[in-house]
């Protein structure tokens, strides 16, 4: 076993993944909260909190104190917020691990949430929202999930809206922090080169004194009854017709995501779905890349993927296509979706897809950040950990019949969704292209 795991008396889960052959160490704290845990009024508060932790804590009262402390030994550090989790990490030379742990732990244990910092950060996050909206290749994914799940916790944007961000108060932040940032909702991972005894002592010092308590507001249902409502004024530039959502924007390249609902993390069907996504658009020799880019020269990027949340999931294809050829690229995609329903993939293509996934996993686990995430995310979201070999065993057990069965289960015209960013005013041609499924 390449890791050790234990739980503190207050419920915090600890994972140690020593790697003696490298000279650095990474400290990661994952918290089981994100936009999935927010109602509409406070949508975006998890992400806002992520920013405010870096603006001052008990032993590091100013933002500059935090950054200076971490910069003083050349650390890489950051945080991230998603729909089901928030993470904070520091990656540094092994000799400085204790210092890095001290800063991150103090940020999380004793945040100040100063009113002046909060007001300043509102402007920063408003500009971050502008940045995402001006990055259509990324924003398309947000719009796809908004289309799929609408005005529900899983459908809303993690970053929130400018209106919400402008409304947050220190009391809002402290209330949400008290509800969500409790030991039972945390997974702490240390990966890399370290002395286990010393790290255990530090973890005891930083985390054991946190009082034991439960998360006080239960996570809402992932899909609400109003899940196709997109009436918020901040999405006035979004037009929805049936299962197509168009964000009208003057771009030289159309950005689209086309896909279907599939399976959550706890559904074993996600493994053949992963193989199916790889066959369709995993790598430069995949069916869709070869057809849309190599054969027809319609797009720069083409790729399929399986997105798994704990309760929900989807399989989709991302395409950045010439504006004049996006409809044709959509039609080609739906044609391939139909083909995998009708005809089993061959043994050579099946093996290639499995080997592709195997190789990507091995390469990914060469970095400490991926090692820490591999163990930490599984424990946080699935409450169990499997080694990479077990994951690949499940992938390698997938048959061609399994893949076709999944395709037949998920690929249906009335479940096909398209999120589109481009200079279009009429979606009728896209609607026709989608009917090929």
Cα angle for residues 129, 258, 236 (degrees, 5° grid): 40
Cα angle for residues 237, 424, 224 (degrees, 5° grid): 45
Measured distance CA(305)–CA(316) in Å, rounded: 6
Measured distance CA(262)–CA(406) in Å, rounded: 9
Contact 254, 140 (CB under 8 A): no
Measured distance CA(437)–CA(434) in Å, rounded: 6
List, in sequence order, every residue forming a beta bridge with 247; answer none if it has no partner. Answer: 238, 421
Dihedral pair phi/psi, residue 82, rounded to 5° = -130, -170
List, in sequence order, every residue forming a beta bridge with 422; answer none if it has no partner. Answer: 248
Dihedral pair phi/psi, residue 58, rounded to 5° = -55, -55
Closest Cα to residue 168, out of 317, 46, 316, 2?
46
Cα angle for residues 203, 205, 210 (degrees, 5° grid): 90
Across the beta sheet with 24-31, what order do the strands follow?
4-7, 13-18, 186-192, 24-31, 86-93, 76-81
Q: Where in the sequence numbering do the catalytic residues fall?
A: 50
Token pair belonging to 29: 């704290």
Measured distance CA(43)–CA(168) in Å, rounded: 10
């Amino acid at each position: 076993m390449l890791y050790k795991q234990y739980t503190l008396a207050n419920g915090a889960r600890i994972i140690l993944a020593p790697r003696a052959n490298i000279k650095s160490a990474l400290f990661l704290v994952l918290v089981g909260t994100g936009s999935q845990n927010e109602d509409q009024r406070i949508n975006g508060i998890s992400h806002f909190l992520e920013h405010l932790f870096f603006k001052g804590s008990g032993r590091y009262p100013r933002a500059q104190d935090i950054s200076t402390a971490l910069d003083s030994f050349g650390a890489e550090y950051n945080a991230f917020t998603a729909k089901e989790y928030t993470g904070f990490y520091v990656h540094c030379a092994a000799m400085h691990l204790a210092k890095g742990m001290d800063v991150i732990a103090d940020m999380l244990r004793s945040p100040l949430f100063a009113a002046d910092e909060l007001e300043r950060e509102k402007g920063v996050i408003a500009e971050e929202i502008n940045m995402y909206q001006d990055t259509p290749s990324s924003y398309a994914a947000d719009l796809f999930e908004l289309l799929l799940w609408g005005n529900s916790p899983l459908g809303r944007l993690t970053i929130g809206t400018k209106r919400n961000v402008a409304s947050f108060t220190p009391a809002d932040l402290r209330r949400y922090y008290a509800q969500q940032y409790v030991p039972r909702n945390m997974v702490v991972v240390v990966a890399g080169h370290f002395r286990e005894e010393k790290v255990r002592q530090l973890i005891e010092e930083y985390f054991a004194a946190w009082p034991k308590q439960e998360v006080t507001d239960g996570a809402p249902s992932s899909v609400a009854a109003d899940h196709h409502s997109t009436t918020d004024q901040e999405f006035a530039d979004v037009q929805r017709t049936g299962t197509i959502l168009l964000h009208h924007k003057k771009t030289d390249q159309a950005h689209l995501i086309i896909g279907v609902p599939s399976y959550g993390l706890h559904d074993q069907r996600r493994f053949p779905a992963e193989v199916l996504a790889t066959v369709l658009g995993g790598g430069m020799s995949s069916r869709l890349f070869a057809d849309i880019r190599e054969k027809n020269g319609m797009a720069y990027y083409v790729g399929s993927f399986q997105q798994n949340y704990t309760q929900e999931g989807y399989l989709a294809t991302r395409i950045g296509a010439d504006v004049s050829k996006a409809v044709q690229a959509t039609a080609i995609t739906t044609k391939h979706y139909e083909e995998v329903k009708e005809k089993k993939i061959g043994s050579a293509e099946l093996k290639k897809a499995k080997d592709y996934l195997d190789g990507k996993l091995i390469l990914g686990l060469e970095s400490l950040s991926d090692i820490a995430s591999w163990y930490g995310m599984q424990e946080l979201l699935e409450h169990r950990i499997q080694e990479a070999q077990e994951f690949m065993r499940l992938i390698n057990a997938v048959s061609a019949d399994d893949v076709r069965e999944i395709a037949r289960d998920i690929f249906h015209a009335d479940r096909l969704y398209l999120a589109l960013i481009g200079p279009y005013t009429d979606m009728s041609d896209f609607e026709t292209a989608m009917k090929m499924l």
